Chains A and B, each alone.
Chain A
Amino acid sequence: MSQKLEKLIDKKGLRLDGRKPEELRSIKIEVGILSNADGSAYIQQGKNRILAAVYGPRELHPKHLARPDRTVLRCRYHMAPFSVQERKSPAPSRRDIELSKVIREALEPSVFIEYYPRTGIDVFVEILQADGGTRCASITAASLALADAGIPMRDLVAACAAGKVDDTIVLDLMDTEDKKGVADVPVALMPNVDVITLLQMDGILTFDEFEKAVNLALEGCRKIYQMQKEALKTKYVSVNEVEE
């Protein structure tokens, strides 16, 4: 029980990694780093390291999955065996399958799926190193990869989690906080059209705490959105410079 007593937030109100409660982890995003994929993105969020690749729209196989009125968006979330402390089996687990679905449903509202009927878009998300909040970071990266692939979209999707650790509502939980904390609320947002595309909760929160957590997470999403935009534009900065 000694572990239970370990404080996740110290007397100064700082977290295990020295962050303030409303502080994001350091984020680095790169777009278009895989030449074989139609679109790709890489994100580092704290110790998370995630690659996202997009293929398509293209002829869908197996063909019976094709819809006559829209594109089929498929998503695969996969953790590398070396991405966590204890080797993870590379076969898709229950959790992987659920996260694939959650990521797909978070991205689907942002894509104009009705533009290219009878085709498929494949999104591959590879977790190279995991440290909590991978589903959110995956959505952030996958959305950029879609934009990089030139797929028409309503908006980018930015995602971020908030939660309760000890007695404080905090932003962007890392692995230990997620496991030992009280609750975790991942949120995905399309910032310009103001639509939430993912909202989950794991743990117990009062209604007030939940509201506070969601609002904090939304704020985090908006901050991440700015970084997404920056990353996407950086790739084409050279184009702009030549122009001037």
Chain B
Amino acid sequence: MPTFFERRQLVVPGDLLAEGEYVAGENAYKEDNKIYASRLGLVEYEDKNVNVVALRAFYIPRLGDTVIGTIVEVGFNGWMVDIKSPYLAILRASDVLSRSFSPQKNELSKVLDAGDLVIAKIIAYDRAHNPQLTVGEPGLGKITRGQIVKVTPTKIPRLIGRKGSMISMIKQETGCHIIIGHNGIILITGKSLEDEQLAMIAIHKIEDESHTSGLTDRITQMIKKEKAKQKEELENESKT
């Protein structure tokens, strides 16, 4: 049962990864007892599982994911939300307005209008139906302030880190509140624009260097350095 790759090797679709009793994991497929890659990425294996960590992919909705989306359409009974996936998501009016409403009287666009950003959770999704969202939990709902950063959805796990180590570090160091949408859209709200910018730089750095080891430490150092720089500038300004 040979394998034809080294750990973390870059593969392209169609590359033969293994032969024999292996199981095709993420972004791989099995044909005639052979495992091939189906996406561009880095190969990993665990026991008999051969996975490809995709470098290029798009967001596929999953039950329970938190996502950040843009309202693109106001309908009679709800909204259509663009969550940067192949499918538009539905947000029902009855979910947002906890009271009873009638489509004739209530103007839904007064509650949420096209172009508004919302944080929502996916409560229903299967291949036959578009994903359905809810905002009926604390922390969800319309976004009123903050900065939006977009990253490739495959990099989200790295951004969160092991048990959230990476993201909690950024939160702590920058003093910003950060909400990560699993669809690759991130909301940063901080006390000042400088704090928010610092968090943005850190997130972009993680996206660019997501495959390196010891990243958390380097990001910590970078933030501290940037912070010192900002402080210096502030002091210089107050002097003049």
Contacts and interface: CB of A to CB of B under 8 A. Distances in A.
Interface of A: 38-39, 56-59, 68, 110, 112, 116-119, 147-156, 190-193, 228-229, 232-233, 236, 239-240, 242-243
A146 B55 CA distance: 13
Contacts of B86: 56-59, 116, 119
Interface of B: 8, 10, 12-16, 27, 29, 31, 36, 38-40, 54-58, 60, 86-88, 127-128, 209, 211-212
A146 B206 CA distance: 26
A110 to B, nearest CB: 8
Nearest to A148: B56
Contacts of A58: 86
Contact of B15 (A117, A119, A192, A239): A192
Given A119-B86, A153-B14, A147 B40 contact: yes
Contact of A119 (B16, B54, B87, B209): B87
A34 B62 CA distance: 29
B10 A150 contact: no
B31 A193 contact: yes
Contacts of B36: 154-155, 192-193
A150 B14 contact: no
A242 B214 CA distance: 12
Contacts of B128: 68, 117
Contact of A153 (B16, B39, B88, B211): B39
A40 to B, nearest CB: 12
15 contacts: A39-B56, A56-B86, A59-B87, A112-B29, A119-B87, A150-B39, A153-B13, A153-B14, A153-B38, A155-B36, A192-B14, A192-B16, A193-B31, A232-B12, A236-B55
A154 B56 CA distance: 16
A154 B16 contact: no
Contact of B58 (A57, A59, A192, A233): A57
Contacts of B127: 117
Given A58-B86, A119-B87, A193-B31, 13 more contacts: A56-B86, A57-B58, A116-B60, A117-B127, A149-B56, A153-B38, A154-B36, A155-B14, A233-B12, A236-B10, A236-B55, A239-B10, A242-B212
A46 B189 CA distance: 53
Contacts of A243: 8, 211-212
Contacts of B209: 242
B14 A236 contact: no
Nearest to A229: B12
Contacts of A119: 86-87
Given A117-B127, A156-B12, A193-B31, A236 B40 contact: yes
B14 A156 contact: yes
Contact of B14 (A39, A154, A233): A154
Contacts of A233: 10, 12
B27 A191 contact: no
Most chain A beta-carbon contacts within 10 A, residue among B13, B55, B86, B212: B13
A192 B209 CA distance: 31
Contacts of B60: 116
A59 B131 CA distance: 13
Contacts of A112: 29, 38
A232 B58 contact: no
B12 A147 contact: yes
A232 B13 CA distance: 10
Most chain A beta-carbon contacts within 10 A, residue among B15, B38, B55: B38
B89 to A, nearest CB: 11
Closest 9 CB pairs of A and B: A155-B14, A150-B56, A153-B13, A57-B86, A150-B57, A192-B14, A152-B38, A119-B86, A232-B12
Nearest to B9: A240
A225 B60 CA distance: 30
B12 A154 contact: no
A191 to B, nearest CB: 7
A119 B27 CA distance: 19
Contacts of A149: 56, 58
A150 B54 contact: yes
Contacts of B27: 152
A38 B212 CA distance: 25
